[in-house]
Amino acid sequence: MRTPIVAGNWKMFKTVPEATAFIEDVKGKAEVEGVESVICAPFTNLPALVEAAKGTGIKIGAQNLHFEDNGAFTGEISGLMLKDLGVDYVIIGHSERRQYFAETDEIVNKKVHAAFRHAYCRSYAWVRSWKSVRQDKPKTYAKCRLKLRLRVFRPIRRFMW
């Protein structure tokens, strides 16, 4: 049976002192039996949060990763780097990344594969925009996303077996 996850995405909020103070404040309160608590924070907070969350039930997640492990990608971070930091989760396919940074289904597909390469197997979350929910054909939209999701996972299944 899957463990339920309660995750908070801090977006572009909290400085390092604010982030570590938050962890200190919620220690013991965020630990619920049978539920995994995750905080997805800005990159600048990740090292301090990983350290502050040690010994608690709180897991730390990143808000993005690049699909390449290294290269000339200014401002990006790789799954390899996130693993090195001790990050447990990563958000992939968020609607804001699609809207503001023009991430396509193909880019999200590559990111999912990168996440699997670095053992972020539980980390794939397809986040669609609220605008798409209000469109005329939400069922068509959902079917397209499901097809893409299956296309993403088929090669991985073959690789894993």
For 1-11, write each residue's pLDDT tens digit: 677 888 899 99
Domain 5-128: which CATH number of 3.20.20.70, 3.40.50.920, 3.50.50.60, 3.40.190.10:
3.20.20.70
pLDDT at 123 over 70: no
Average pLDDT over residues 131-148: 50
Average pLDDT over residues 85-106: 90
Phi, psi of 6 (to 5 degrees): -115, 115
Domain ranges of the chain: 5-128
For residues 85 and 50, the answer to whether their CB atoms sit within 8 Å is yes
pLDDT digits (tens, 9 = 90+) for 97-119: 988 999 988 898 888 888 888 87
Those residues with Cβ within 8 angstroms of residue 66's Cβ, 6 or more apart along the chain or in another chain: 73, 76, 77, 78, 79, 111, 114
Helix ranges (DSSP H) in the chain: 16-26, 46-53, 79-85, 95-101, 105-117, 130-134, 138-160
pLDDT at position 135 is 53
Q: Mean of the per-residue pLDDT values for the chain?
A: 79
| Cβ atoms within 10 Å, residue 40 | 25
pLDDT at position 2 is 75
pLDDT at 87 over 50: yes
pLDDT at position 137 is 52
